[in-house]
Structure 1
Amino acid sequence: MGNSHSAGPDLHHHHHHRQPPHHSKAVVRKRSTAFSALTLGCASADFAESECASQDTTAAGTERERDRDRDSSRDEKVSFDPPPLYAYSTVDLLEDSVSAAYKVFLKEHPEYQLTWILDALRRSDFARLDRSGETYVDYMGGSLYPESLIRVHTGFLNRNVLGNTHSVSNASKLSAACAEEARQTVLSFFRAPPGYTVIFTANATGALKLVGESFPFAEGSKYVLGADSHNSVHGIRQFALQRGAEVCYIESTDHGGVDPSDAKAILKQNRPQNNCSAPCLFALTGQSNISNSKNPLSLIQYASSHGYYTLLDAAALAPTSIISLTETPVDAMAISFYKMFGFPTGVGALIVKESVLSRLERPWFAGGTVDVVQAPGTIVTMSADLHERFEDGTINYLNLPAITDGLRFLSAYLPFLPLRLSALLHHLVESLTQLRHDTSGTPIVQILSRTPERHLRAVGEQSDTGSIVALLFLFPSGELMPNTFIEHAAAAHQISLRTGCMCNPGGAAALLGLRDAMAALPPAPTLKEFSREMGRELGVVRISLGLATDFRDVWRVIRWASSLGNERMRSVMWADWLGSKRGEAL
């Protein structure tokens, strides 16, 4: 993980060993200044002028103001006139129903006020949330795009002409220059030392698939992974098995993730022998998308020291955590940009060591990956540039400039996110845990995911978990409320969350206590058959916080969850849900 005292990823770090393509030197991307001053946490020019004007007061006036402040008995600080930007993140901006709860929250979590820059960001770039009344708590499914990023990108597209990077026209040269700039920005953002390159893919799944299909598995190879992983990580086992390799799982703990000592034991037991013809691969999930567990990145160094090639699924980790490839030199890492800053969708990346990339073997070739192809015949000469060998067809050149701007945007706020989300997550978990049914006094929810042990106090500290709550809702009798009902009730209250197994069957089985049932599955079962066998809907309710989350979002979720404990209100929601399912088999 990154230095806890860092101000964010260093986007000015230069990789002197890398030279951009010759044709990119002829084209310089015209930078836009469309990111608002407010977006970057600074006051506007008009505000700066008014602030200077406000300081032009008489000595008598200043003295009177000091006396007024000294005599004030109010708990809150007297506001400046006009107030500085950070002062806007006060209870004065909240409706009365939230204001009292916010004051209590700040007494318990005073460190939250250190993240005022994110309140300013919420007002400048995510005001559509408050205009629409939507409470968005599905950041693990996809982050929300900041409005200024869209303005910057559309402005750039409006001013320029971009062409296919496989051509040599002026438009194509500009596209190639933007693609190279995006690669270098990705490497700098993740603090990659010399020797890494970037392959642009459709998403993190595409990046993981590239490794799986190209890794030289053979008889005697081992593929080691955690049970609490995304299906895209599990899917690599198909390539391993097809080539005669053995798949070795590290069991999930009851709250998800791996136990470090168990992981080390399995890695040591299955470590590669002194035989380069049977390489082994270890895939680590940086953060679970369902259990909220963060796995220690030190396991990557441990596996590497035992001869494994290493792969990090950072799709869930990268949006809210600082990752340094200098400190954790994993062989390959998969990310999705839309999960980090919301736009664009359809672009991910594999950040990979060039030395490892040269050992991967593509099972096919396509446009853009080759230099010479004999047709008919069997001769194929792959592209001289390593990354081009893995970028099938035409890259998403119209959207790559947004990657550069998005990473620079995120770098300004990433240091503040863990502190902010830690305070909100602690409050959310504590509040949900205390909720009770009005008729029975029994709990309304059962929280299954891992809860943080550390309570962050300063900007730059890193959390020991993600910002996810996976839970179940219970009737007064203790029986489970159907997840489909919860999803319907949340949508009716304009709350965007997610239910299900989150494409993570191992993590879901661990949280739900279904590992034995998972092990006893018959061949080719469907989800409906599995659910019928278990006698209930499978999956959890997931609430995930992110870049634009503020206290009001958490407060609204708590208020909505509380309403499910009110017999009368729940009955109305239940009747509405049944009405929406009329004609279906329940």
Structure 2
Amino acid sequence: MQHRRHRLRRAPLVLLLLALVLVLALRSARRAGWRLEVGGRQPSHNLGSSEECSSEKAEFLRQHPNYGYHGWIDAHWQEEVGSRMAPGSHYLDFTGSGLYTNSQLRAASRELEGSLFGNPHSTNPSSMLSTAELADARARVLAHFSADPEEYAVVFVRSATEALKLVGEYFPWAPRPGWQPERRVHPGGISDAAALPAGRCGTLEQAGTGGAGSSFVYLRANHKSVLGIGAYAKLHGSTLACVDEPGMEAWLASKPPEDDQGAAADDVTYSLVAYPSKDNLEGRMYPLDWIQRVHSRSTDRHKWMVVLDAAAHVATHPLDLRAVKPDFVCISFYKIFGLPTGVGALLARRKSAAALRITYFGGGSVVDATAEDVWRVLMPLPEGLEAGTPPFLDILQLKHGFDMLRRLGGMPAIEAHVESLRAWTAPRLAALRHPGGAPLLRLFGAHGRGPRVQSGVFAFLVLHANGSSRAAPWVQQDAAAAGLHVRSGCVCNPGQCHYDVGLRPEEARARALDGARAGTDDLAPLVTVARPGADGRPARVRLAAGVVRASLGPLSTFEDVCALLEFLRGYRELVL
């Protein structure tokens, strides 16, 4: 009898322990990204094909006649793209990469099967065929951007990142007065072993004046690859100035400084402004008239140039280089039409490129060279910036991508198609609510301001009913299990990402340093930080260290955005 009473006393404790183990297992499963059964329902891989989506599409088509290229996308999407995707899948990562069509692939295959292409740095028949293809590709790129070949040159590179690197590496940086080069080299690729102190992005107080050294002025919302230019500016002792949009506007509206009258007449200083015409995190569109306004700040002895990161922009919007005149434009072609990867371009304004201090040479970038004294004569643009043999078999595939854009109706038609989907989706995402009325999402960007300011990118956090954020990688993993191709993290845009999620630069640096010391780049998706509580005292809060991004492109469909909405509506049960 006593043993029986002892077992009965232990029973509640055992049940409690079993319940605790079950709760921990469920939490681990969610964190691992497992998609759980909700209400007895199996995970759905048929998002976007429901009767509700079909009904909503009929109304959508009546309201948005610019969708779908006059029926082309509904007629051809399956044969051109869908045949390569798992059933029930939806691609929503066009800012990460465009999608190629099977028509492009077949055309490229036929060309490679039917012709022989040799190294263009020769004059035999196969080489001359490659040389002709390279010239045709440059002409197509210039025509696509309405650029005058007398004014702009197309420099083929591996990617927009390499184009930006060329600008930073060869820009004629001048040090600020009194600067001394740093002798210590930081180990392990870390900028500085300390997380503190950190500067701030915002307003700009006369970043540079004639005779006072170069300045690198850059928008907070820039891609990492643009921020990397700042490493060259720092290396040469130039001034860094990180600004937000109001800060840029205020600076451009201010009176430019006058020349230093004590400087020599031929002593010209160059400064650089860098910004994205469309940022890759929120999809914000930034004014192209900034280019002319930056140039207007130039004086006889201090010239201001602009490098425009157009990698995200040109995938969904036209860029007319007759209307705007950036000094350098950086693009990646896979962002536009998916194939080929590994080919980008620096569109360099010829008179601006003349100021670059081109150092490295190799392959076809020189007329000739001697081993003695490392003497060389550079080729003129564009070859003078193309060190080594260009990827000619990839470059010849560009024509098939441009042909596909033309079949869709060109960039104006693509812009209108993407905007129709954005205009329908954005207010529905913003309206998603928990059963108690709390918002399900925190949607970033400027969707309420319309297409002049916002493109077809949805960056968001999924919120619990209490307002806290679910870790973005967990949402991505759950979305992947449901067949959705989205992206999570800071998507190579740390400045705007950290600002949006509320993470201070010191906190972001400490997190990265912790990962570096541990030898991993798999950083914690949630960060615990101190913030003032309701009573004014410091309180510990957990912040998401990244966002979820769903982005649209030329081959996005209504079913894709409807699937995203259906997924998030059903997801509410997991994030109460």
Quickly name the TM-score band, shorter chain normalised: 0.7 to 0.9
Query: Counterpart of 2:361?
Result: 365
Q: Which of 537, 548, 565 is 2:572 aligned to?
A: 565
Q: Are the equivalent residues in 1 in contact too, given 2:422–2:455 (CA < 8 A)?
A: no
| 2:254 is the alignment partner of 1:261 | no
Task: Return closer, same or farther for 1:561/1:529 CA change in 2, 3 Å cut-off.
Answer: closer
Q: Which of 266, 281, 287 is 1:290 aligned to?
A: 281
| 2:390 is the alignment partner of 1:401 | no
Equivalents in 2 of 1:478, 1:147: separation in Å?
44
Can you give the 5+ residue segments of structure 1 that lack an aligned partner in the other structure?
1-92, 253-257, 456-462, 572-586
Query: Counterpart of 2:194?
Result: none
Of the structure 1 ranges 220-229 and 135-144, higher mean CA displacement relative to structure 2 is found in 220-229
Task: Return closer, same or farther for 1:123/1:484 CA change in 2, 3 Å cut-off.
Answer: closer
Query: Counterpart of 1:117?
Result: 72
Q: Are the equivalent residues in 2 in contact too, given 1:200–1:391 (CA < 8 A)?
A: yes
Q: Which of 470, 473, 487 is 2:476 aligned to?
A: 487
> Residues 226-245 of structure 1 correspond to what in structure 2 (within 5 A)?
226-245=219-238
| 2:482 is the alignment partner of 1:502 | no
Task: Return closer, same or farther for 1:432/1:215 CA change in 2, 3 Å cut-off.
Answer: same
> Residues 141-540 of structure 1 correspond to what in structure 2 (within 5 A)?
141-193=96-148, 194-219=150-175, 220-252=213-245, 261-265=249-253, 268=256, 276-307=267-298, 308-383=304-379, 385-411=380-406, 412-438=409-435, 440-454=436-450, 463-515=452-504, 517=506, 526=515, 528=523, 532-534=527-529, 535-540=542-547
Task: Return closer, same or farther for 1:529/1:144 CA change in 2, 3 Å cut-off.
Answer: closer
- What is the aligned residue count? 463
Equivalents in 2 of 1:285, 1:448: separation in Å?
17
Q: Are the equivalent residues in 1 in contact too, given 2:470–2:544 (CA < 8 A)?
A: no
TM-score (norm 1): 0.74
Secondary structure, counterpart of 2:364 in structure 1: coil
Secondary structure, counterpart of 2:106 in structure 1: helix
Cα shift at 1:227: 1.0
Can you give the 5+ residue segments of structure 2 that lack an aligned partner in the other structure?
1-47, 176-212, 299-303, 516-520, 530-541
Task: Return closer, same or farther for 1:266/1:502 CA change in 2, 3 Å cut-off.
Answer: farther
Equivalents in 1 of 2:450, 2:572: separation in Å?
30
Q: Are the equivalent residues in 2 in contact too, given 1:224–1:282 (CA < 8 A)?
A: yes
Equivalents in 2 of 1:334, 1:267: separation in Å?
29
Letter of the 1:214 partner, please give it: Y
Q: Are the equivalent residues in 2 in contact too, given 1:284–1:300 (CA < 8 A)?
A: no
TM-score (norm 2): 0.75
Letter of the 2:420 partner, please give it: A
Letter of the 2:548 partner, please give it: V
Equivalents in 1 of 2:280, 2:322: separation in Å?
25
Q: Are the equivalent residues in 2 in contact too, given 1:198–1:387 (CA < 8 A)?
A: yes
Equivalents in 2 of 1:510, 1:523: separation in Å?
16
CA offset digits 1:362-407 (Å, max 9, x no partner): 2322222222222243322222x32112112110100111112212
Cα shift at 1:166: 1.2
CA offset digits 1:168-208 (Å, max 9, x no partner): 21111111110110001100100002321110000000011
Q: Are the equivalent residues in 2 in contact too, given 1:444–1:564 (CA < 8 A)?
A: no
Letter of the 1:250 partner, please give it: V
Task: Return closer, same or farther for 1:263/1:541 CA change in 2, 3 Å cut-off.
Answer: farther
Q: RMSD across aligned C-alpha pairs, in angstroms? A: 2.7
Equivalents in 2 of 1:360, 1:367: separation in Å?
19
Cα shift at 1:464: 3.0
Of the structure 1 ranges 518-527 and 258-267, higher mean CA displacement relative to structure 2 is found in 518-527
Secondary structure, counterpart of 2:464 in structure 1: coil
Cα shift at 1:145: 0.5
Q: Percent identity?
A: 30
Q: Are the equivalent residues in 1 in contact too, given 2:117–2:130 (CA < 8 A)?
A: yes
Q: Are the equivalent residues in 1 in contact too, given 2:307–2:329 (CA < 8 A)?
A: yes
